[in-house]
Structure 1
Amino acid sequence: MAKPSGAWIAMQKRRWPLLILLLISLSTALVLITRFASDSCNPSTVSSNSGGSRLAGETALGDARRSPSPLEFMKSKLVLLVSHELSLSGGPLLLMELAFLLRGVGSEVVWITNQKPTEPDDVIYSLEHKMLDHGVQVLSAKGQTAVDIALKADLVVLNTAVAGKWLDAVLKDNVPSVLPKILWWIHEMRGHYFKVEYVKHLPYVAGAMIDSHTTAEYWKTRTQERLGIKMPKTYVVHLGNSNELMEVAENNVAKRVLRQHVRESFGVRNEDLLFAIINSVSRGKGQDLFLRAFYESLQLIQEKKLQVPSMHAMIVGSDLNAQTKFETELRNFVAEKKIQDRVHFVNKTLQVAPYLASIDVLVQNSQARGECFGRITIEAMAFQLPVLGTAAGGTTEIVVHGSTGWLHPAGKEGVTPLAKNIIKLATQKETRLTMGKKGYERVKEQFLEHHMAQRIALVLEEVLQNARRQKQS
């Protein structure tokens, strides 16, 4: 089956944000009209949960957004954010989100990217201009201006372990003056990040912020055993979904139209089952093992003559312009097993909502120690999708096994369990729906933007207080 061209994908990426905005505007207008009519006829129905739980949920979310931000104390504070790169990967995007939250309460925010390609890059250009549009200053990583900002800043956030190289390379003799006001936000789980040149200053910063308890424990143990250094005070901060994503996730009209749009573009019918993995394509994310499990599930269904809807798999996170050796392996496997009509590759994108709206199950198949947290997992749960995840890393702190999804082992030993879980969800529609609803409830309880803002606010407040005390002493 022919796949959409890179130009087609690019066109759709430009169209989807507009489509989403149009749908949200239309749906919101309809809700307001309906609510006004309901209020006029029966004012008591406004606070009633019977027959209006959807509207009640929207109202509660709206109230949360209108309430004062817990980050208000950051107003007028100068914050320097240092990222090792600017890309569509999790770390930089999370730091950008923090930048926008801080700008929203009146902080002065400056962004530095430590590693940038020598050639012009469309992604970097786009992301930098998105920050500029939000009032975030974007500066060169090197030079006296960067040093001056670091010395003057109330808070410096280093994003990822690799960003630690920036300290000695740029600040040089000024490093000791800046360390007491550094919050180090760490997202890595892989062992090759544990190098002295990256993290030698880690024990002396104001604090470390890590996205999961599993990752925090791993860093504490690994730094002490391998490098002989102690972690600073470490804060575990679970992430939350953005308000913008929740607006789409809770808009049934938008979801329905996006589902139809995406599925039609790939020749997937509404009644077909679509399993997806949404991560940058790399061996550590486990797309190869997911495809093996998907193929094995098709074989088992055929052998056992099970009655299930037609099943498809989607890999979101490819690079259609520069296919890696690993992605070539994936495509070769699909061709070898003759499942080209069932497997669909999608270019990497910031716009994940259309794909979450179009699928039935998310597979979070990160390998080895798993994800530090895995933002896409809570995003999928917001769309009321069950999650099939590896029993590793922060995924175990998000997915409740047997309730919001099922966990399977990482590595090759997880292929057959994942295949069996795929079959269980394919044959048990009620289980899919129940798990999806429970996942959504869990998101509403713990993983919204205001939850994350509250958790980060507690950390920033303490770090700033400690920095002031050290400055006075």
Structure 2
Amino acid sequence: MAKHSVGWVASQKRWLLAFLVMLSVSTLIAFFIRAAFDSCDRPLDVVAKSPTRVPSGLLVGAGPNPLNFMKSKLVLLVSHELSLSGGPLLLMELAFLLRSVGAEVCWITIQRPSDTDGVIYSLEHKMLDRGVQVSYAKGQGAVDITLKADMVVLNTAVSGKWLDVVLKEHVPHVLPKVLWWIHEMRGHYFKLDYVKHLPLVAGAMIDSHVTAEYWENRTRERLRIKMPQTYVVHLGNSKELMEVAEDSVAKRVLREHVRESLGVRSDDLVFAIINSVSRGKGQDLFLRSFYESLQLIKEKKLQVPTMHAVIVGSDMTAQTKFELELRNFVMLKKIQDHVHFVNKTLTVAPYLASIDVLVQNSQARGECFGRITIEAMAFQLPVLGTAAGGTTEIVVNGTTGLLHPAGKEGVTPLAKNIVKLATHVERRLTMGKRGYERVKERFLEHHMADRIATVLNAVLRRAKSHSDS
């Protein structure tokens, strides 16, 4: 009888895990969980000469969906690529929000590899299953859809070149109904070839105040062009992700499974960075900080649980120089037992359930927003983040996490912050709870839908005003 009971429990556990993993895949394809906002005491407003306050109180959960006015509207979404990176997955999320209220949605991908790609195939069929029409960047068909659409959403600065290449003489007729959604923070995107049409579009939408201000200043000073009316829209966690984050049984099962697969004990302390592995995401500096924190603990003879660093987003098949640098550092410092590399994956919810602290170590100007940050906070995790970009609008320093400088000068401060959270369990748990409360107040799907509705409504009015004149 005992053996039968144990077997039944194990079977149930495997079934629940499989279900949660499938749910996580579905959630993360539609709602980007990898690559999530910033001392957000500032209200959503327009970054322009005459800022306007977006009205509050239009919550999806409290009444009609604020996007209902988009019913039967034809919206064309133009993405520079279809991949697991932030921009395309955010645009897919918008596509699904619009489809949920009965909008007709068409998707055009500018760059599509000639070879069959499993990820692209999966994402395209995910959209087709939800009623999104998927087509390609060139040809008369693309022109016809663009001219017919009530609204065109360009996703990322790079998409700007598509206007001239595909639409040609039709560009002036299309610009008044274009909403340009910009996510980039790096300077090499500030090319006139990409963004010369920005001043004439109906509006720009940017994920954080920091990025919006950067674009406003940079376009004026470097390119001598003026930004259109610009809206800052913070993102929100999907309902599916929140269901997992708030399910204590699901989290416990996922935590046990992932820790077992990594060889991490239940009472060990895990710090993780969840981003595609690249120098801009700061995995190298995180590992240096982690090693330094181990040395500090040893020198001060502090009593802490065994500590681990997890890098989620690895890709050894690519054999990049940077990836090899990370692994060589681990070998050189002899910390192989403390560092774990996990291949890039859509199913990050299990890792959020299994770790104790998220590290958001994006470098230079930081993340435009950093979706993973609000997702980690939904799982009641404190965040150790760089004081740069959108992270400063999400993490309240000292309350929901701790911030450190970007660059090499941030290595020691991050190491000290790791030690602080390792040695103060109650502080770590309190920060996690406050982060969760902040997510519930600001960063849920209905908050995002409300904010986007305000922008889309304004763009439609502006497009209609132009056509009437």
Cα displacement string for residues 302-340 of structure 1 (whole angstroms, at most 9, x for unaligned residues): 111110000001111112322311111111111111111
Q: Which of the numbers 342, 348, 355 marks the counterpart of 2:344? A: 348
| Structure 1 position 16, deviation (Å) | 5.7
Q: Name the CA shift for 1:181/1:17 in 2 (closer, same or farther; >3 Å).
A: farther
Checking the alignment, whether the CA contact within 8 Å between 1:20 and 1:254 is kept in structure 2 is: no
Letter in 1 for 2:387: A
C-alpha distance in 2, partners of 1:145/1:129? 20
Other-structure match for 2:10: none
Letter in 1 for 2:252: R
| Structure 1 position 22, deviation (Å) | 8.4
Letter in 1 for 2:284: D
Other-structure match for 1:202: 198
Secondary structure of 2:317's aligned partner: coil
Q: Which of the numbers 158, 162, 168 marks the counterpart of 2:158? A: 162
| Structure 1 position 19, deviation (Å) | 3.2
Other-structure match for 1:116: 112
Other-structure match for 1:31: none
Other-structure match for 1:247: 243
Other-structure match for 1:38: none
Letter in 2 for 1:18: F
Letter in 2 for 1:91: G
Letter in 2 for 1:444: K
Other-structure match for 2:19: 18
C-alpha distance in 1, partners of 2:402/2:459? 38
C-alpha distance in 2, partners of 1:122/1:67? 40
Secondary structure of 1:139's aligned partner: strand
C-alpha distance in 2, partners of 1:16/1:195? 47
Other-structure match for 2:462: 466
| Structure 1 position 133, deviation (Å) | 1.0
Give matches, 1:305-454, under 5 Å: 305-454=301-450
Other-structure match for 1:90: 86
Letter in 2 for 1:104: S
Checking the alignment, whether the CA contact within 8 Å between 2:23 and 2:240 is kept in structure 1 is: no
Checking the alignment, whether the CA contact within 8 Å between 1:16 and 1:354 is kept in structure 2 is: no
| Structure 1 position 351, deviation (Å) | 1.5
Other-structure match for 2:220: 224
Higher RCO, 1 vs 2 (CA within 8 Å, ≥6 residues apart): 2
Cα displacement string for residues 118-173 of structure 1 (whole angstroms, at most 9, x for unaligned residues): 22211111111111111111101111111100000001000000011111111111
Checking the alignment, whether the CA contact within 8 Å between 2:60 and 2:450 is kept in structure 1 is: no
- What TM-score do the two structures reach when normalised by structure 1? 0.87
Q: Name the CA shift for 1:207/1:420 in 2 (closer, same or farther; >3 Å).
A: same
C-alpha distance in 1, partners of 2:62/2:450? 14
Instruction: Show structure 1 runs of 5+ residues with no match.
Output: 1-13, 24-62
Other-structure match for 2:276: 280
C-alpha distance in 1, partners of 2:278/2:17? 26
Letter in 1 for 2:180: W
- What TM-score do the two structures reach when normalised by structure 2? 0.88
| Structure 1 position 17, deviation (Å) | 5.9
Q: Name the CA shift for 1:458/1:121 in 2 (closer, same or farther; >3 Å).
A: same
C-alpha distance in 2, partners of 1:417/1:110? 47
Checking the alignment, whether the CA contact within 8 Å between 2:399 and 2:431 is kept in structure 1 is: yes
Equivalent pairs, count: 421
Letter in 2 for 1:323: Q
| Structure 1 position 373, deviation (Å) | 0.6
Secondary structure of 1:79's aligned partner: strand
Other-structure match for 2:254: 258
Secondary structure of 1:366's aligned partner: coil
C-alpha distance in 2, partners of 1:20/1:318? 19
Checking the alignment, whether the CA contact within 8 Å between 2:285 and 2:411 is kept in structure 1 is: yes
Secondary structure of 2:309's aligned partner: strand
Other-structure match for 1:191: 187
Secondary structure of 1:362's aligned partner: strand
| Structure 1 position 437, deviation (Å) | 0.4
Letter in 1 for 2:123: L
Secondary structure of 1:105's aligned partner: coil
Checking the alignment, whether the CA contact within 8 Å between 1:183 and 1:209 is kept in structure 2 is: yes
Letter in 2 for 1:19: L
Letter in 2 for 1:185: W
| Structure 1 position 65, deviation (Å) | 4.9
Other-structure match for 1:302: 298
Secondary structure of 1:178's aligned partner: helix
Other-structure match for 2:28: none
| Structure 1 position 452, deviation (Å) | 0.3
Cα displacement string for residues 33-68 of structure 1 (whole angstroms, at most 9, x for unaligned residues): xxxxxxxxxxxxxxxxxxxxxxxxxxxxxx965843
C-alpha distance in 2, partners of 1:148/1:91? 25
| Structure 1 position 112, deviation (Å) | 0.8
Other-structure match for 2:53: none
C-alpha distance in 1, partners of 2:242/2:151? 30
C-alpha distance in 2, partners of 1:399/1:166? 36
Letter in 2 for 1:425: L
Checking the alignment, whether the CA contact within 8 Å between 1:88 and 1:349 is kept in structure 2 is: no
Q: CA RMSD in A?
A: 1.6
Q: Name the CA shift for 1:168/1:437 in 2 (closer, same or farther; >3 Å).
A: same
| Structure 1 position 249, deviation (Å) | 0.5
Q: Which of the numbers 120, 127, 134 marks the counterpart of 2:123? A: 127
Other-structure match for 2:7: none
Secondary structure of 2:353's aligned partner: helix
Checking the alignment, whether the CA contact within 8 Å between 2:108 and 2:136 is kept in structure 1 is: yes
Checking the alignment, whether the CA contact within 8 Å between 2:380 and 2:433 is kept in structure 1 is: yes
Letter in 1 for 2:118: D
